């Protein structure tokens, strides 16, 4: 059982709840049918606003600790982006009343640190395309010690606590602490002392029933190779399609058995960003699953802002892991 009074647990849950709920409000107010295909302004505002909230709360709770975030505020400090900065500040002030534009930039830039022995890592909005489609996305925060994730929290506004897609519902707040299990509660209704439900991966053993968790977004994967992998594995189950690290939450809750991040044919040298995998990986592992790279190597979060020595991701319920790695070798993933 997690010690819910632990200061790091309390901070991470509060920070992700505030960031994810603010992102949900921005999605509700700014993402409309009138958006053009290339209009990313809502997710830009949400990314910066969510990181500003986490950076500001980290300063209050653990001043001086490292934060490795996806965003930096340099572009917002230019005069031509003043209107965007004002809009971001408007949203952030709902969580931190009285914050100034300059303080917002400083809070965002808490995330420009390089990883040290111990650090926090944040993806304020994971699942850009899902956010813009008014579908799935997540705010993801993790704490890393000596290259290993010790704590991870996902805020998923469009997944209810039973991990069902429900838009405009309670949302889910998923947390794992190394050695203490994975747990879920309501995102909107979370308060310190809330009831949490423990998560556990699927116990399916028949490869024919193995459900693959797949993204709508294909830029960082290889769709043809995934089809070949599924055939080699012998899976006949329909895939579960979803954006973002929300897939890790589903895997941890038993609603799928395998999640892969393969290398795109035109980006074979791509290495995963640490904030894209840290929180979700520990949540799956603490729910009884297994997460490695495509070669079966443990993920190494001690190599800077990327998983420099890891190729892609293979996450499973544990039961299928060795078989999945063998199938990957067979199809030359």
Q: Do 246 and 219 form a contact (C-beta atoms < 8 A)? A: no
Q: Which of 39, 59, 113, 128 is catalytic?
A: 128
Q: Do 196 and 252 form a contact (C-beta atoms < 8 A)? A: no
Pair of tokens at residue 12: 């991470």
3-class DSSP assignment, residue 281 = helix
Tokens 């300059």 correspond to: 102
Alpha carbon distances (Å) from 24 to 118, 128, 232, 249, 257: 30, 13, 39, 18, 28
Residue 216: alpha-carbon gap to chain centroid: 15
Angle (nearest 5°) at CA 108 between 106 and 111? 110
Residue 120: alpha-carbon gap to chain centroid: 13
Active site residue 292: no
Active site residue 128: yes
Q: Which of 44, 47, 123, 243 is catalytic?
A: 47
224 CB-near residues (< 8 Å, 6+ apart): none
On the CB side of 143, how many CA atoms lie within 13 Å of its CA? 19
Q: What is the DSSP string of 219-272?
A: TTS-HHHHHHHHHHHT--SPPEE--STHHHHHHHTTS-SEEEEPPPTT-TT---
The catalytic residue positions are 47, 128
């Amino acid at each position: 059982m997690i010690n819910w009074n632990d200061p790091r647990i309390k901070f991470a849950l509060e920070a992700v709840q505030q960031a994810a709920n603010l992102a949900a409000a921005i999605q509700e107010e700014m993402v409309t049918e009138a958006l053009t295909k290339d209009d990313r302004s809502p997710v830009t505002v949400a990314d910066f606003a969510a990181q500003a909230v986490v950076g500001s709360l980290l300063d209050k709770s653990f001043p001086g600790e490292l934060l490795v975030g996806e965003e930096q505020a340099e572009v917002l400090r230019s005069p031509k982006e003043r209107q965007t900065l004002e809009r971001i500040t408007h949203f952030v002030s709902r969580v931190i009343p009285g914050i100034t534009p300059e303080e917002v930039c400083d809070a965002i830039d808490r995330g420009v640190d390089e990883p040290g022995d111990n650090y926090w890592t944040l993806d304020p909005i994971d699942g850009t395309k899902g956010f813009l489609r008014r579908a799935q996305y997540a705010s993801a925060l993790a704490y890393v010690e000596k290259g290993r994730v010790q704590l991870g929290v996902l805020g998923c506004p469009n997944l209810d606590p039973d991990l069902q897609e429900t838009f405009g519902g309670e949302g889910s707040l998923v947390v794992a602490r190394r050695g203490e299990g994975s747990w879920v509660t309501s995102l909107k209704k979370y308060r310190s002392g809330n009831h949490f439900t423990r998560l556990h991966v699927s116990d399916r053993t028949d490869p024919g029933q193995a459900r693959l968790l797949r993204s709508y977004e294909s830029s960082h994967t290889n769709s043809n190779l995934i089809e070949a992998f599924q055939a080699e594995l012998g899976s006949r189950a329909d895939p579960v399609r979803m954006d973002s690290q929300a897939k890790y939450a589903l895997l941890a809750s038993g609603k799928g058995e395998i999640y892969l991040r393969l290398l795109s044919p035109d980006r074979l040298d791509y290495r995963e960003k640490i904030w894209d995998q840290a929180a979700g990986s520990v949540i799956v592992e603490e729910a009884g699953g297994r997460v490695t790279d495509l070669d079966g190597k443990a993920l190494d979060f001690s190599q800077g802002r990327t998983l420099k020595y890891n190729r892609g991701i293979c996450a499973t319920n544990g039961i299928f892991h060795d078989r999945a790695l063998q199938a990957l070798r067979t199809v030359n993933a």
